[in-house]
Structure 1
Amino acid sequence: MTEHADHSAHGRDGHGHAHAPTDFGKAFAIGIGLNIAFVLIEAIYGVWSNSLALVADAGHNLSDVLGLAVACAAAVLGNRAPTARYTYGMKGSSIMAALFNAVILLVAMGAIAWEAVRRFAEPAPVAGITVMVVAGIGILVNGVTAWLFASGRKGDLNVKGAFLHMAADAAVSAGVVVAGLLITLTGWRWLDPVTSLAIAAMVVWSTWGLLRESVRMSLDAVPSGIDPGAVRAHLRDLDGVTAVHDLHVWPMSTTEVALTSHLVMPAGADDTFLMRAAHELKDRFGIAHVTLQVETSEATACALAPDGVV
């Protein structure tokens, strides 16, 4: 994605826009290619060695491939210029991508858990050495993929998510290696479905937050990292402001937040005030797209406010 300088518009509305994330297109392409190759290897050897743990991890890694592909597509769509119909461009596609990934992950893990429970009744022999070797490859693949996104994890929530997911996958593969070693040493076949359930539980636990937050974002809820009460208090404390109403804060994408609000200022305000207010909201709350409407009359403000909005 292309880097854009922060800019603001003059006039009665103060606007600010966030920096676009650095281009990680190459990292996405390499990560997707590595993980597709590994999914094929893991699935083939999982079936051959009769290891549900490997098949479970293959399903998990397949969801990672889909996740990386959807995230990459969302990043491309998010860079499209606004149009008369899509006035914000297609930035919201990243929210849809997050929701899609969460649902796919949960469905896949449900299927794995069902099969694991079934195997408790009829434990099957597992080729422990094969499990260890293939899972070891997984540690390498996921570790390299995580490294590709490491440099951007502090500046872009999507890239940070990709980094953390790949790092967690490396840890999961390490768990599969341990399970393969224990099966080889002890012959305990039940360790394979137990490991599968543990993997599924960990993925569901880590995915639940993603599902919850993506649903909230799709409903234009205030992002979890922003306290709407603190935002309102900040606006109310600005010089010359006597009241704040019609305040809305919502995610434009998984990385950008917008705000609109009406400020009652009997003495009025100039462009300098609006620009300063917009920059303060960006610096303090990370809200980079700000629109403030100034009203000089309390009576006018109440008349213009929608029913129930204060």
Structure 2
Amino acid sequence: MDEENIAQDPRNRKKYWLGISINLIFIIFEVACGLFASSLALVTDAVHNLGDVLGLVISLVAVILLKRKPTKHHTYGFYNTTILAAFINSLILVASLTLIIWESILRLLHPESHVNGGIVAVVALIGVVINGLTAYIFQSGAHGELNERANYWHFVGDALISLCVVIAGVAINFTGWEMIDPLVSILAAVFILRESWNVFISSFDLVTNGVPDGVDEIEVEKYLLSLPEIDKINDMHIWALSTTEIAISAHLQCDQPGDYMKIIDSATEGLRKNFHIDHVTLQLETCNKKHKESTI
């Protein structure tokens, strides 16, 4: 499903609102139980769930903003707000998880007198159900648009992490070894941090107009130079307008421009077909024209 269809389908908004509501209620419940049971593992799980809820909020905002038409001030519309929000959320999540890892290390050095393993196991088991239900809500988009795929797999991962916390709670109950709680907290936080760091790096690349993942700039250049009319490429730039929309601009130097529109149409069609670049801006130049290269 493309972005325009996502924006126009009212069922998408409903499932986002449902996912946000049930997870926010559970996060509040999980934090309260985590503090009551002195369990960092539950708090860690709640922080990660909050990050995923923020992701759902971003996706919902994107669905709403996609219906807004470009303006004279925002000529590209509001597609790139999802990139900016993803970057901010990933930055907050990375910082939060880093603090939780530090707190867990301190808990290992100075253990709590008691961790209620029974409460930890029960609350985490509810988390398995909540995260599994949210994943089921987004199952239809598991192989579709990027944001929906990310939401689906995030909550599948959350369900698995909550299952690990269940195991930790049961282990504490039977063994009385309370060090299991901060150890599980560290392992879960490190696992999530690795995933969050990848999202942070990818979103940072897009915020700074890096070439989107899945597009090879060298291959794009090779393709354009393979066209018989084109001898040289100047000022080629490839960047993301959103998580799914890619743009390119370039000056194509030709010995004999001939049919101007034929060359432009051929290059544009090839870029869309071979590299899924839909926003194409190309300018033709003759070889006898001295090109002044841009500073960027």
TM-score by length of 2: 0.91
> Equivalents in 2 of 1:2, 1:255: separation in Å?
9
Alignment of 1:99-110 (within 5 A): 99-110=87-98
- 8 Å contact 1:42–1:58 — kept in the other structure? yes
- 8 Å contact 1:75–1:94 — kept in the other structure? no
Answer yes or no: is 1:159 the counterpart of 2:148: yes
TM-aligned CA deviation for residue 89 of structure 1: 0.6
Answer yes or no: is 1:98 the counterpart of 2:86: yes
Amino acid at match of 2:125: G
Q: Which residue of 2 aligns with 1:205?
A: 194
Answer yes or no: is 1:147 the counterpart of 2:136: yes
Q: Which residue of 2 aligns with 1:117?
A: 105
TM-aligned CA deviation for residue 279 of structure 1: 2.6
> Equivalents in 1 of 2:261, 2:21: separation in Å?
50
Deviation string, structure 1 residues 11-46 (Cα, Å, up to 9, x no partner)? xxxxxxxx7677422221111011011102211211
Name which of 43, 46, 61 aligns with 1:58.
46
**What SS is found at the alignment partner of 2:280?**
strand
TM-score by length of 1: 0.88
**What SS is found at the alignment partner of 1:303?**
coil
Distance change in 2, residues 1:274/1:105 (3 Å):
same
> Equivalents in 2 of 1:91, 1:275: separation in Å?
25
- 8 Å contact 2:7–2:67 — kept in the other structure? no
Distance change in 2, residues 1:268/1:27 (3 Å):
farther
Distance change in 2, residues 1:234/1:105 (3 Å):
same
Answer yes or no: is 1:280 the counterpart of 2:270: yes
Distance change in 2, residues 1:174/1:249 (3 Å):
same
TM-aligned CA deviation for residue 111 of structure 1: 2.3
> Equivalents in 1 of 2:222, 2:288: separation in Å?
21
Whose helix fraction is larger, Structure 1's or Structure 2's? 2
Q: Which residue of 2 aligns with 1:10?
A: none
Distance change in 2, residues 1:22/1:198 (3 Å):
farther
**What SS is found at the alignment partner of 2:77?**
strand
- 8 Å contact 1:259–1:291 — kept in the other structure? yes
Q: Which has the higher contact order (CA 8 A, sep 6+)?
A: 1
**What SS is found at the alignment partner of 1:89?**
coil
> Equivalents in 1 of 2:189, 2:3: separation in Å?
38
Q: Which residue of 1 aligns with 2:15?
A: 27
Q: Runs of 5+ in structure 2 lacking a partner?
A: none
Greater displacement, 252-261 / 50-59? 50-59
Answer yes or no: is 1:88 the counterpart of 2:76: yes
Deviation string, structure 1 residues 223-280 (Cα, Å, up to 9, x no partner)? 1221100000001111322222211100011111001112223133343443343232
Question: How many residues of Structure 1 are paired with residues of Structure 2 in the alignment?
Answer: 292
Answer yes or no: is 1:224 the counterpart of 2:213: yes
**What SS is found at the alignment partner of 2:294?**
coil
Distance change in 2, residues 1:305/1:114 (3 Å):
closer
Greater displacement, 217-226 / 188-197? 217-226
Q: Which residue of 1 aligns with 2:252?
A: 263
TM-aligned CA deviation for residue 158 of structure 1: 1.4
Deviation string, structure 1 residues 177-213 (Cα, Å, up to 9, x no partner)? 1111111111110000001111111111101111111
Q: Which residue of 2 aligns with 1:43?
A: 31
Distance change in 2, residues 1:124/1:60 (3 Å):
farther
- 8 Å contact 2:143–2:149 — kept in the other structure? yes
TM-aligned CA deviation for residue 155 of structure 1: 2.9
TM-aligned CA deviation for residue 134 of structure 1: 1.1
> Equivalents in 2 of 1:130, 1:99: separation in Å?
35
Q: Runs of 5+ in structure 1 lacking a partner?
A: 5-18
Amino acid at match of 1:111: L
